[in-house]
Amino acid sequence: MSDEPRYIGKRERFTFSCGPEKACFNQCCCDINQFLFPYDILRLSRALGMTTDAFLAKYTYIYAGDTTGLPVVSFLTSGKDNHACPLLSKEGCRVYKDRPASCRMFPLARALARSREDGAITEHFALIEDPICEGFSSGGATTTPARWMEDQGLKEYNRRNDQMIELISLKQQILPGRLEGDEKEAFVLACYNLDGFREKVKAGDIEVEEKEAVVESDEALMDAALAWVKARLFGR
């Protein structure tokens, strides 16, 4: 096994199994350097009964991404516990139902490519054959990337994360370099601290269409925050 990705078609078969019976159980949640998308943060904070700002403060840190210059959110880990995810317990993931997209996707990675000719977006997949993972080594169920994503409940995660990828690509075209100052704050607020964004909407500090829906629904809140940050930073 190698830790180099092996590319695989969306409907190509692979065999994998995972569960508490594996000797490697929980190993993939240690030594992590995992960044979180806005929808991950929303789902995790709701699962833990916290506001997004409390979740960010307790479980994450924010830094500037090397390639994008955008603020990136990662789980806070400690060398004392083998850099394990802060949401890991002996029994496994404490937030399994609401685990982030990258946890659901493993052992697959998914990337998007846009055609220069017609702008069409295509999905690409790779298998991450991590040497610590025994999931490939002892039979298991045969599946495909398409089936895996369905079984892991990734549809809404992918839809939301693809919106972020579009935002990142827009930023690279319009505002190359590191985002700083008010622009950085606006990005963190609208993308990561959605409850903070909602409070500003309620107080009338941020104007949005459909204010009532934004106050009531997380779905409307995410849509409004994305539209606001696009207009605020990129004039779109």
Q: Which residues, other chains included, contact 159 with Cβ-Cβ below 8 Å and sequence gap of 6+?
A: none
Burial class (CB in 10 A: 0-12, 13-18, 19+), 54: middle
Does 108 sit near ligand SF4 (CB under 6 A)? no
Per-residue tokens: 181 = 């100052």
- State how far the Cα of 150 lies from the Cα of 195, in Å rounded to an integer: 29
Per-residue tokens: 179 = 């985002």
Does 88 sit near ligand SF4 (CB under 6 A)? yes
Does 135 sit near ligand SF4 (CB under 6 A)? yes
Q: Annotate each residue in 21-40 with x if it binds ligand SF4 (CB under 6 A) or - if it does not, as one string.
A: -x-xx-xxx--x--------
Nearer to ligand SF4, 136 or 172 (CB): 136
Nearer to ligand SF4, 89 or 217 (CB): 89
Q: How far is CA 150 from CA 11, 57, 143, 164, in A?
A: 12, 32, 11, 21
Does 110 sit near ligand SF4 (CB under 6 A)? no
> Are 107 and 129 within 8 A, CB to CB?
yes
Per-residue tokens: 227 = 């539209």
Does 43 sit near ligand SF4 (CB under 6 A)? no
Range in contact with ligand SF4 (rule: CB under 6 A) among 96-104, 153-161, 188-196, 218-226: 96-104
Nearer to ligand SF4, 24 or 112 (CB): 24
Residues that bind ligand SF4 (CB under 6 A): 18, 22, 24-25, 27-29, 32, 85, 87-88, 93, 95, 99-100, 103, 106, 132-135
